[in-house]
Amino acid sequence: MKLDLARKPTPLEKVHVRGKTVFVKRDDLTEFVASGNKIRKLEYLLGEAVSMGADVVMTCGAVQSNHARATTYLSIKLEKKPVIFLKEWHPGKSSGNFLLDTVMGAEIHVVTPEEYEEIDRIMEDYAKKLEKEGKKAYIIPEGGSSATGSKGYVDMVHELSKQIDLNEVDAIYVATSSAGTHAGILAGLKILGYRNVEVRGVVVHRKPKEVVIERIRSILTELGVDDDGIILVGGFEGPDYAIPTEKDVQMIKDAGKSGIILDPVYTAKAFRGMMETMGDKEKVIFVHTGGTFGLFAQNSILEG
């Protein structure tokens, strides 16, 4: 079951940044409070939650998780109680996405980085506790990254194919973290037969690439497509997840002057990765996955 939650189709815009021209798929405009890429995944995931009669929706992420914020908001709209487990991280804990989670009344559990290593078990245990209380919980994995959630980005490729001739496109760039968006785009291209378009995932964290590749392969297999053609772009991770470099901050400012607002966690790193690795004659699309609220949690990086 799929729900209709996002505002679609999102625009495809031609943008000029640093003397280069790229196309930007504006998935930062999928909604307002639920803006970004997660809502496309949640159309399928929350559809399952509704189908099974869940009255609690549970998920996890970093303290400034865009996914947790979108899940909280949409769960409330569907009259489900949101329960979110967030990995402790600073700065800006009480601003940005976390502030919205608090305003919307999510049941928030902040866990340590060590506890987060076992977050799937922690959520399963909590779901069992709720079951004993007569409640039914639906668990959504980190980032909504599963075969079910990735169907949202198979749909996005169908949408994109009506906006531009994909046969003329060399590559699609996207930020890659939990990898569900990357997997969905790659699957969509394979299903529609656009095998000459590369999906280049700019890695935004320091997890081993092998882990990311295995996650993408697993999703592709579940979606019934072959698992070749996985391309990861490294070298733009920065010191760690959610920590931008000075070059990323400058990228935010440069893109902002062209009317594109990037965030310091995902899109600034991915957009810079695209700008620095794309060929001069290549025609590329950047999938803007949102994250604007996270920018407010790190506003100090833009001072000066």
Pair type for strands 284-288 and 56-62: unpaired
Q: Across the strands, what pairs with 17?
A: 20
65 catalytic? Reply is yes
Q: Are 68 and 96 in contact (CB under 8 A)?
A: no
Q: How far does Cα 85 stand from its chain's mean position?
A: 17
Annotated active-site residue in 35, 65, 145, 146: 65
Pair type for strands 20-26 and 12-17: antiparallel
Q: Give SS3 for 138.
A: strand
3-state SS track over 31-75: CCCCCCCHHHHHHHHHHHHHHCCCCEEEEEEECCCHHHHHHHHHH
Q: Across the strands, what pairs with 137?
A: 56
Within 8 A by CB and 6+ apart from 182, the residues are 174, 176, 199, 201, 216
Q: Give SS3 for 25.
A: strand
What's the CA gap between 230 and 94, in Å, rounded? 37
* Burial zone of 78 (CB within 10 Å; 0-12 exposed, 13-18 middle, 19+ buried): middle
> Hey, which residues are catalytic here?
65
